[in-house]
Amino acid sequence: MRVLIVEDDLELARQLKETLMDAGYAVDHAPDGEEGHFLGDTESYDAIVLDLGLPVMDGVSVLEKWRADGHMIPVLILTARDTWSEKVAGLDAGADDYLTKPFKTEELLARVRALIRRSAGHASPELVCGPVHLDTRNGKVTVDGNPVRLTAQEFKLLSYLMHHQGEVISRTELTEHIYDQDFDRDSNTIEVFVNRVRKKLAVDIIETVRGLGYRLDVP
């Protein structure tokens, strides 16, 4: 899962990036509205955290442009002041949720998790595929109740597939959703990760769809 943070307060952005990375997300950061708009327009994200008070282009304008261009990505807006009009403007521009500064990072994490889960069509924070359970709240993966230890990249890959169960996911799509923009991406390494995850799970839930990608399904 990959998240974009658009925030001009660099210290807050650094904290958010660290928190989200620790929670197992690939994270990109844009310090102004123009770069934020560009990244949201051209890269693949699972959720966006958007500050409304931004230099160059304000947050509401950024959001309106994305929505006008048909981008459905879930967006959580950050409002600096506890003014109802800013929240209303953001929600009316197409935001899915909001947080008022200052906030606890745990609350931001919970809201991001909920947004990603709901946009992928899941009501419960625990994702289940046959004997495999993935708890999005703490990143724990179990098979038949036994914990499985995954590396950060293996977890990102499994989490993306678990969120999109039953869909055929191409290697390119997986690559776009598990690496941040600075990562030297190579879609050939996806196969290596998939095989490692298969081995660790020891159950056959990741099917290779020849020429198209992978599909996660109950064996």
Structure tokens at 217: 């399904």
For tokens 């304000």, what's the residue?
Answer: 58
- Under rule CB under 5 A, how many of the chain's residues touch Ca ion? 3
Q: What one-character-per-residue DSSP string does 54-110 give?
A: -SSS-HHHHHHHHHHTT----EEEEESS--HHHHHHHHHTT-SEEEESS--HHHHHH
- CA distances for 43 relative to 37, 73, 99, 115, 175, angstroms: 10, 11, 24, 18, 11
Beta carbon nearer to Ca ion, 28 or 173: 28
Please identify, among the stretches 6-14, 91-99, 106-114, 192-200, the one whose residues bind Ca ion according to the rule CB under 5 A.
6-14
What part of residues 63-92 is at the interface with Ca ion (CB under 5 A)? none
Cβ 181 to Ca ion shortest distance, Å = 21
> Of the two residues 8 and 126, which places its CB atom closer to Ca ion in the complex?
8
Q: How far is the CB of 141 from Ca ion (least distance, A)?
A: 36
- Helix count (H) and strand count (E) of the chain? 8, 12
For position 32 contacting Ca ion by CB under 5 A, the verdict is no
The nearest distance, CB 5 to Ca ion, in angstroms, is 12
Cβ 77 to Ca ion shortest distance, Å: 11
Closest to Ca ion by CB, 51 or 154: 51
The residue within the footprint of Ca ion, chosen from 2, 17, 36, 51 (CB under 5 A), is: 51
Distance between CA atoms of residues 94 and 64, nearest Å: 7
Q: How far is the CB of 31 from Ca ion (least distance, A)?
A: 10
Tokens of 145: 């109740």
Of the ranges 43-51, 97-105, 131-139, 201-209, which one interacts with Ca ion (CB under 5 A)?
43-51
- Whether omega for the bond prior to residue 219 falls within 30 degrees of 0, making it cis, is no
Q: Which amino acid is at 59?
A: G
- Binding segment for Ca ion among 2-10, 11-19, 20-28, 99-107 (CB under 5 A)? 2-10
| Minimum CB–partner distance for residue 69 and Ca ion (Å) | 23
Identify the residue among 12, 15, 34, 53 touching Ca ion (CB under 5 A).
53
What pairs with residue 78 in β-bridges?
51, 99
